[in-house]
Amino acid sequence: MAYVKLNKNALLHNLEIISKKAGDRDKVALVLKDNAYGHGLLEIASLSKEFGIKRAVVRNLFEAKRVEGFFDYILVLADIPQEITPFHFTINSLEDIAKFPKGSKVELKVDTGMHRSGILPKELKEAFLLIKKQKLDLKGVFTHYRSADELSSELFWQQKNFEDVKNESLRLCKEFGFEKPLFHSCNSAALFRLNEFSDDFARVGIAAYGYLEIDEVFDKPELKPVLSLWAKRISKRELKKGERVGYGGVFEAEKDLVLSTFDVGYADGFFRLDGTQEYVLPKGNKVAGRVSMDSMSVLCDEEEICIIDNAKIPASFFDTITYEILVKLSPFLKREVVS
């Protein structure tokens, strides 16, 4: 069966670099949403706990419950629970507030310029009033940057907006008798771009997995890819010159060749190749023709083959970002941790 290998040393190496940059392990909240960016939620939760990460960020209650035992702090980005839980839930809009059970721990997401979700800075007071009315436990105030990865001053404009939001929140907390909330704003790109880090922690996803999608002009830390995708041979044949392979027969042997077919396809999350462009696997072997749902054929004579060892290669081939390549990997693939 095709499987995902997780390199423990690479993950620990990345977490070390991230913790240094943030100042401390406690200043890192590891983003584990969407099956830990396709890596495997429980595997990454367990390894990062071993490293000493105490905070996690997930997408929904289902993920939060699965990693409950691993972390002291879990922030859920987009879900509304039916009952009180130990997790922190994000308020993404004013209308959300009345939907949370009384006593829920909540964090207020503020839209400081991304205009995707969160309340507006000018709605802060109204949000505080509604939170008080609903008897929610306000634990944090945070934001998200839209251009931390790009060469522009937008990050600093948004950062300034968040500074204003922090000051106003502190003032409102006094007025409403709430405790000082946790403040956080940085994703991976922002953490590595900013010299000053005055928040309580950063929410780091992609960098932990070994990638950083930032403009080339910025200094990049030496991160190591954690994940690789492997497949096993299900069949082998000798192709005669002129024989064609797979759906549509788009690959034609120019000479006699050995062809091996492996048990990984687009159902496993590797994007479909249509056979019109040459795709070369990490060890230099070429994929022959179209990728099928559950298999692909490769010009090689190996029992086992590495399909992805660096997500940047398929990301650039398919004109997307490493995030998408990783997160599409099927949760049904077996995960194997290696050192």
Ligand X SMILES: *Cc1c(COP(=O)(O)O)cnc(C)c1O
Please select the residue that binds ligand X; options are 38, 118, 140, 205, rule is CB under 6 A.
205
Scan residues 47-86 and list those touching ligand X (CB under 6 A).
77
Scan residues 157-196 and list those touching ligand X (CB under 6 A).
187-189
220 belongs to the catalytic site: no
Q: How far is the CB of 189 from ligand X (least distance, A)?
A: 6
Q: How far is the CB of 252 from ligand X (least distance, A)?
A: 42
Cβ atoms within 10 Å, residue 304: 12
Query: Residue length, the chain?
Result: 339
Backbone phi and psi for residue 306, each to the nearest 5 degrees, phi listed first: -90, 125
Specify whether the CB–CB gap between 79 and 60 falls below 8 A.
yes
- Site for ligand X contains 300 (CB under 6 A): no
- 336, β-bridge pairs: 5
Residue nearest to ligand X (CB): 205
Q: How far is the CB of 61 from ligand X (least distance, A)?
A: 16
Q: How far is the CB of 53 from ligand X (least distance, A)?
A: 14
247 belongs to the catalytic site: yes
Task: Closer to ligand X by CB, 6 or 327: give it.
Answer: 327
Segment lying near ligand X (by CB under 6 A), choices 10-18, 133-141, 200-208, 249-257: 200-208
Please select the residue that binds ligand X; options are 39, 55, 139, 203, rule is CB under 6 A.
203
Q: Extract the tokens encoding 220.
A: 């990049």
Catalytic residue among 135, 180, 240, 247: 247
CA distances from 127 to 71, 135, 197 (A): 28, 12, 26
Segment lying near ligand X (by CB under 6 A), choices 17-25, 48-56, 130-138, 199-207: 199-207
Q: How far is the CB of 331 from ligand X (least distance, A)?
A: 18
SS3 8: helix
Cα distance between residue 186 and residue 189, in whole Å: 8
CA distances from 196 to 159, 186, 193, 205, 275 (A): 11, 11, 9, 19, 48
Catalytic residue among 21, 27, 33, 139: 33
- Site for ligand X contains 311 (CB under 6 A): no
Strands (E), the chain: 3-7, 28-31, 55-58, 73-76, 88-91, 105-109, 137-142, 182-184, 202-204, 227-239, 244-245, 251-252, 257-262, 296-298, 304-308, 334-338
Task: Closer to ligand X by CB, 182 or 207: give it.
Answer: 207
Task: Closer to ligand X by CB, 181 or 275: give it.
Answer: 181
Give the residues lining the site for ligand X (CB under 6 A): 31, 33, 77, 144, 187-189, 203-207
Active site residues: 33, 247
